[in-house]
Amino acid sequence: MSENIQTLHSYRRESKAALDSPAIQSAMDSCHEAGGGKVVLTPGTYRCGTLFLRDNVTLHLEVGAIIVGSANLHDYPMPLVPFTDAVGDIRGRALLVAETASHIALTGGGVIDGNGGAFPIGKPDHKQRPFLCRLAYCKNIRISGVTLRGAAAWTCHLLGCDDALIEDIHIDSRINENNDGIDVDSCRRVTIRDCFIASDDDAICLKTTLPEPCEDVQVSGCTLITECSALKLGTESYGDIRRVTIADCRIPFAGTGAIKLLTSDGGIFEDIEIRDIEIECGTGPIFMRLGSRGRTYVRGVEAKGPGKLRRVRFANIRARTFVPPKDIVQPFTGEMMPPRAFSGVFVTGLPGQPVEDISFEGMEIAFSGGGQPQDIGRPLPEEPGMYPELYYFGALPAAGFYVRHAKTIRFANTRASLQQPDPRPMFAYDDVEDVVETER
């Protein structure tokens, strides 16, 4: 990017309704028209509606600069590229937006606050509440150093993007529901490293709502705290997910599971390595599910049958699990699920559609235990179209690892222990071909 630099300062407004976004947008547009450059926000508070990032322009927030999102939904226009979420709502409004842009950057030590509390549950515009940052079909992206907080919905959504680097950012997004941290959707060549994420919903989530794959993604050095899933591939999984490496991450807390691989809409998940992960306190540490929900997310595509889940390696995962203090209602059946339904490693394909070539190496997991004799040999539902969540299946037939409908499973140097007595076997298999256990 060029040396063209425009510096903006906050000012005292005569009207509480006045927005700073027109001035910031004008500066970014001018930089773009001049061939590129940097727009610098000096310390102060900037109240904004949607800001559109432009080609070859860096938006830089100095330490002490804070962008605060408007409380008025009308200040967030619906973008040219909308998004259909997992429950069928048309979404896409955001505080920061880029569409088909290239060489864009968001940098500095400042803060972007989505003001998510302005769009609470029950408010008429709650379903249309804006994301904090949404980049669609962009190339050569860098997000570095900034703090993203208080999103009204997802915090950072990349859709159909190529060549993105997200590093050293701090996300605190627990002010509303569905507050994902970073969502990488049908993107290629993405690196996420050295980030801190505290989120109400999934912390880092790879998905494919487009037919195009999500591939060549690297995640490393991140700390993840979440009421839901810390590291999740799926559930939106129309396209393939492949060549993913996740390493050297710390998970102090994960409320509904630490690591999940969930292909439900026909996508092929393959060539995935997850290693050197510390799970200090989490429910089910690993959940892998091949389902057949058959959902689509864009017009004009046909629903698919089951995909594939294969060539996945877990190595050096250290975990200590916990269970909730009371029974939880399974939303699809209304059945009460016991707390122990949240524990265990569960790997499952479908009858005639096995998961394949899964290895566990150097695992060290302290499972919660507390199972009951009636759990031994308990048949679990198949429900291929059900939303994939571990506790929906109820208590597992194993205190530790339960593998079903699978082929070529490897365990090496895997140590499992119990925090309280449990009559269930530590390892149990159903419809599994070719299991190798080495020094476990």
Ordered by where they begin, the domains of the chain are 1-201 (2.160.20.10), 254-440 (no CATH)
Q: CA 404, CA 234: separation in Å to the nearest integer?
A: 19
The predicted pLDDT at position 41 comes to 98
* Long-range contacts formed by 179-182: CB under 8 A, 24+ apart: 179/116, 179/151, 179/153, 179/154, 179/155, 180/153, 180/154, 180/155, 180/205, 181/155, 181/156, 181/205, 181/224, 181/226, 182/155, 182/156, 182/158
Cis peptide before 7, with omega less than 30 degrees from 0?
no
Instruction: Note the pLDDT of residue 1.
Output: 47
Q: Work out whether strand 90-91 and strand 83-84 pair parallel, antiparallel, or are unpaired.
A: antiparallel
Q: Would you state the pLDDT for residue 2? A: 53
Q: Which stretches of the chain drop beneath a pLDDT of 50?
A: 1
pLDDT for position 93 = 94
The DSSP result for 2-55, as a single string, is -S-EEEE-----SSTT--SHHHHHHHHHHHHHTT-EEEEEPSEEEEES-EE--T
Collapsing DSSP states into helix, strand and coil, what is residue 339? helix
Residue 307 confidence (pLDDT):
98
Per-residue pLDDT, 86: 66
Give pLDDT, residue 333. Answer: 84
